[in-house]
Amino acid sequence: MTDQMRRITLARRPQGMPVPQDFALDTAPLPNPAEGEVLVAVEWLSLDPYMRGRMDDVRSYAPSVGLGEVMTGQGTGRVLASRAPGFAAGDQVTGITGWASHAVLPAPGLRKLDAGLPPSTALGVLGMPGFTAWTGLREYGRPKAGETLVVGAATGPVGSLVGQLARAAGLRTVAVAGGPEKCRLATETFGFDAAIDHRAHDDASSLRKALAQAAPDGVDIYWENVGGKTLEAVLPLMNTHGRIPVCGTIAWYGGADGAQDRLPMAWRAILVKRLHVHGFIIFDHWQHFPEFLADMAPKVAAGEIAFLEDVADGLENAPEAFIGLLQGRNRGKQLVRV
């Protein structure tokens, strides 16, 4: 058994797309597990898009990797030595090993793997990406049979499961993927009803035409993995009351498309802050109007609610008052005394 471990560290912070020189490979003495810890020989390491964010020195939903520190990541491996109850040498486990050949981890951060399944599945279809697809579709996608779902990065571990789960729920599923091979995989391996090659479309407008053909009844769920051109193409195709689980914006991870475009900033804020953005039109809610009136009319009558009215006199002055309203010239509710 070696007494050295190999590790990949963050050598410098990338500018846009990472390059090999942003990483360094080094060796370090193999650490010994303390009480309650386990030494693991890493066999499989997961690479995931979220790691790009950890390489930046900006506040996100998780701490950055420090310069010179081992890149973060989940792995699987065999236990070499255990000082924790419940784990023994030879056990197959998964945990946040980092990009390294070995890791010493506290027992609560480890999970033993089902011996009946390949360990690598714990990093993909039965791991964080699979769980992401399952949770986001159930919680935020809320699929209904007969609806249409579009997903970008459709052959990736999240997108491919989103598509299969949605299809099993009775939805028409449309994949967006890069290149003919991935499009073939999307339909043949993952069972998507249609697949669009975004590389065959130079701009969002052309991609939108292809998507509109593949989704003739519009789009009820757009699963957002990518942002960029695909988002721009899909948005005008969304049906009323559509849902957009925002899971990633990989098209923008290497930097935004231009300082004039505020969409990447907004979409990144929605993702990182887990925001819930709800468009709504009051006419959809009219059945609750009597409840509103029963609650508020007594308060208004009692003078407990302040309100302001701006009055324009005469129907002929309605256009000027309306223009003033759009320009913010009114202070309160704009009325016309006809």
Binding to a copy of itself, residues 113-172 (CB under 8 A): 114, 116-117, 120-121, 123-126, 128-132, 134-136, 139-140, 153, 155-157, 160-161, 164
Helix, strand, or coil here: 260?
Answer: coil
x/- map, 269-288, a copy of itself, by CB under 8 A: xxxxxxxxxxxxxxxxx--x
Q: Is 1 an interacting residue with respect to a copy of itself (CB under 8 A)?
A: no
Smallest gap from Cβ 207 to a copy of itself, in A, equals 14
Q: Is 302 an interacting residue with respect to a copy of itself (CB under 8 A)?
A: no
Nearer to a copy of itself, 214 or 250 (CB): 250
Q: Which position among 67, 96, 200, 305 is part of the footprint of a copy of itself (CB under 8 A)?
A: 305
**CA gap 196, 234 in Å, rounded:** 12
Residue in this structure with the two tokens 């491919």, named with its chain if needed: 160
Binding footprint of a copy of itself, residue count (CB under 8 A): 138
Q: Is 331 an interacting residue with respect to a copy of itself (CB under 8 A)?
A: yes
Q: According to CB under 8 A, which residues from 64 to 123 bind a copy of itself?
A: 71, 75, 77, 99-101, 114, 116-117, 120-121, 123
Q: According to CB under 8 A, which residues from 307 to 326 bind a copy of itself?
A: 307-309, 312, 315-316, 318-323, 325-326
Q: Is 244 an interacting residue with respect to a copy of itself (CB under 8 A)?
A: yes
Cβ neighbour number for residue 63 with a 10 Å cutoff:
9
Nearer to a copy of itself, 174 or 204 (CB): 204
Q: Which position among 1, 115, 145, 301 is part of the footprint of a copy of itself (CB under 8 A)?
A: 301
Nearer to a copy of itself, 8 or 81 (CB): 8
Ramachandran area for residue 315 (φ above 0: left; ψ -120 to 50: alpha; else beta): alpha
Choices 19-27, 31-39, 88-96, 205-213 (CB under 8 A): range interacting with a copy of itself: 19-27
Smallest gap from Cβ 167 to a copy of itself, in A, equals 11
Q: According to CB under 8 A, which residues from 178 to 217 bind a copy of itself?
A: 178, 181-182, 185, 189-191
Q: Is 6 an interacting residue with respect to a copy of itself (CB under 8 A)?
A: yes
**CA gap 166, 178 in Å, rounded:** 21
Smallest gap from Cβ 33 to a copy of itself, in A, equals 19
Nearest alpha carbon to residue 278 among 242, 239, 225, 233:
242
Q: According to CB under 8 A, which residues from 22 to 61 bind a copy of itself?
A: 22-23, 25, 42-49, 51-52, 61
Which two structure tokens, joined as six digits, stand for 312? 């324009």
Long-range contacts of 139-143 (CB under 8 A, 24+ apart): 139/245, 140/243, 140/245, 141/166, 141/221, 141/223, 141/243, 141/245, 142/221, 142/243, 143/169, 143/170, 143/171, 143/220, 143/221
Nearer to a copy of itself, 34 or 67 (CB): 67
Long-range contacts of 104-112 (CB under 8 A, 24+ apart): 104/31, 104/32, 104/33, 104/34, 104/37, 104/38, 104/39, 104/40, 105/37, 105/38, 105/40, 106/36, 106/37, 106/38, 107/36, 107/37, 107/38, 110/38, 110/40, 112/86, 112/87
Nearer to a copy of itself, 90 or 327 (CB): 327
